[in-house]
Structure 1
Amino acid sequence: MRRMPAVLLALTATLALSACGGGDPLDADEGAGDTPSGGTTDDSGETEGGASSGDVGSVVVGSANFPENELLAEIYAAALSDQGVEVSTTLNIGSRETYMAGLEDGSIDLIPEYTGGLATFLNPEITATSSEEVLQEAQDNLPEGLQLLEISEAEDKDALVVTSETAEELGLTSIADLEGQAGDLVLGGPPEFETRPNGVAGLAEVYGVEFGQFRSLAAGSNLTVQALANGQVDAANIFTTDPAIEENDFVVLEDPESLFAAQNIVPLISSEVVNPTVEDALNAVSRALTTDNLTEMMVQVVSEGQDPAEVAREFVDANL
């Protein structure tokens, strides 16, 4: 995602098709509202570089195709709705490569993002690892018309995870311990992990770790957990807030070289729909989210099978 790769334009059609399977149609009106933060208003009441002054506007909230992102999208939607914003949702769009096209063409306005993943997508040569530096990297490379609001302390990082049995057998505590041993092992992860710079290529470049085989699995799904628990893969890319890690006594391998950068949750939004009401509502969400309460909500959604929209509503009612 440096200056939005040309391939994203081609993916716009894919976004439109995939959206048919979940959420509301991608035809909600562009938001109109009060003067956005950083914008200027002329005598006619129109805001340069943002929404027009007037009502609180409308926002189409999207999500990636894994449970946590859907939950976060529902939290954003509930918080905005409580402030009088007209909200519709388009959930489970797909990977970052797909939903960024929707943000650029205006079919969605807002999505929960992760600073490290976004920054790396925009600039594969990123070297920053701290929350502040990673956020700045992402902001510096955002496509025109998009902006990041306040980041949350809540963080959900990519991690390389093994079973406790594998960790004990191979003497693994760190990703570095896999060097020289990974050639006989199968790595599982979402399809994009095989090609992203902080995925398979990064493991080889940063740690000298090259797995014998990569098995493509759905991001954030129970299939990944089951494949690891059943021995179909020997290591897996699992998000750190996934309750399955504790429930299965999995071992998260340390990342001493910071291959996986800081991954603070942050609203990524079209500047066209930003106004004080929208900004205040989303920043309030960011201030309320923590890694601990996000993990607790993921237990409700993933382990207990509760409706993400209901879990989101409970969170917003209790915290905002």
Structure 2
Amino acid sequence: MSIFKKGRIAIGVVAVGAVVALAGCASGDPTAPETASGGDSGDAIVVGSFAFPESEILGEIYAQALEAQGFDVSTKFNIGPRQQTIPALQDGSINLIPEYNGNLLAYYDTEYTERTTEDVDGALGDAVAKDDLVVYKSAEAEDKDAYVVTKEFADANGLKAIGDLTKVEPFSLGANPQFGELGYGIPGLKSVYKVNDVTFVPIEDFGGPDTVKALTDDTVQVADIYTTSPDIKSKDLVVLDDPENLISAQNVIPLLSSKIASDELEKALDAVSAKLTTDDLIDLRERVEGEEKASANTAAKDWLEKAGLL
């Protein structure tokens, strides 16, 4: 098995600390066939989402952007992992969902070796076509694992990239227990960046509050924290650059049924992808998951207005 096997194949893992759904569906079964007007015409867009807040925010962005362009849109959010969303796309329960290109490729090929956005996107089109699905352009926005340090530690030791960690060996690194064996974790840190003297500290919350606390109180000096975590900004943390692409691309990308694919739909979704950044996702998550507790609907609407898409 390649050391680069992506560990976050089950999308629910992306935000284990925040999988509580923000809004339920009217139907008891979130994947029940759509009955809204136009449901049998092939023209209605049914936007789904995974069962965590960021995905619902992205689903709202897609839905509202398409409504603004005159599409007939409804939503079925908080469905579950890919083992549920891919069949839902195939049976027409939904026909569009915001995805992550690397994790999606890993669903189809657990041994994939593509690392960059361009390469992952290039392989993804053929992979999803097997299920009669289509992807359009991916966004700059990424939600992926990252090697993170405090700004104080980075400034004191001249740390900008993962390879710079050789300057501070030995050090402790906090991450989910699987990180000790994953290709982009401890084994990759050693083989790709030649960082060898690392004490691994397993922390169960996948980059959540316990991991952040361990980093900020210096229990660990480096941590695996996802790039859209609001703590990146609120705790003034530094994401180390990854010039060797140890961690594969995880760009936001629209996945849809080929039955609804059209030039007009592609243009509308490409316009969203062209504007959406990782910083935007951090800010959106902070609004929804932080003290404000804004609804995904409101946060999405405000972002679309600011981006000139409403």
TM-score by length of 1: 0.69
Q: Distance in 2 between matches of 1:20 and 1:218?
A: 18
The one-letter code sitting in structure 2 at the alignment partner of 1:229 is: T
Query: Taking structure 1 as reference, are residues 117 and 183 closer, same or farther at Cα in structure 2, changes over 3 Å only?
Result: farther
Contact map agreement 1:241 1:291 (CA 8 A) in 2: yes
User: What 5-or-longer segments of structure 2 have no aligned partner?
Assistant: 1-8, 13-18
Query: Taking structure 1 as reference, are residues 136 and 306 closer, same or farther at Cα in structure 2, changes over 3 Å only?
Result: same
Which of 249, 274, 280 is the equivalent residue of 2:261?
Answer: 274
* Aligned residue number for residue 118 of structure 2: 132
Does 2:303 correspond to 1:315?
yes
* Aligned residue number for residue 212 of structure 2: 225
* Aligned residue number for residue 27 of structure 1: 31
The one-letter code sitting in structure 1 at the alignment partner of 2:161 is: S
How far has the Cα of 1:139 moved from its partner? 1.9
* Aligned residue number for residue 131 of structure 2: 144
Q: Distance in 1 between matches of 2:134 and 2:35?
A: 15
How far has the Cα of 1:193 moved from its partner? 5.4
How far has the Cα of 1:256 moved from its partner? 2.5
How far has the Cα of 1:60 moved from its partner? 4.0
Over the aligned positions, Cα root-mean-square deviation in angstroms equals 4.1
The total of aligned residue pairs comes to: 285
Contact map agreement 1:120 1:198 (CA 8 A) in 2: no
Percent identity between matched residues is 36
**SS of the residue 1:212 aligns to:** strand
TM-score by length of 2: 0.70
Q: Distance in 1 between matches of 2:34 and 2:264?
A: 15
Query: Taking structure 1 as reference, are residues 131 and 184 closer, same or farther at Cα in structure 2, changes over 3 Å only?
Result: closer
**SS of the residue 1:185 aligns to:** strand
* Aligned residue number for residue 37 of structure 1: none
Q: Distance in 2 between matches of 1:175 and 1:270?
A: 38
Contact map agreement 2:174 2:214 (CA 8 A) in 1: no
Does 2:224 correspond to 1:237?
yes
Q: Distance in 1 between matches of 2:103 and 2:249?
A: 8
Contact map agreement 1:31 1:58 (CA 8 A) in 2: no
Query: Taking structure 1 as reference, are residues 181 and 107 closer, same or farther at Cα in structure 2, changes over 3 Å only?
Result: farther
**SS of the residue 1:251 aligns to:** strand
Q: Distance in 2 between matches of 1:281 and 1:57?
A: 15
Does 2:100 correspond to 1:114?
yes
* Aligned residue number for residue 262 of structure 1: 249
* Aligned residue number for residue 57 of structure 1: 44
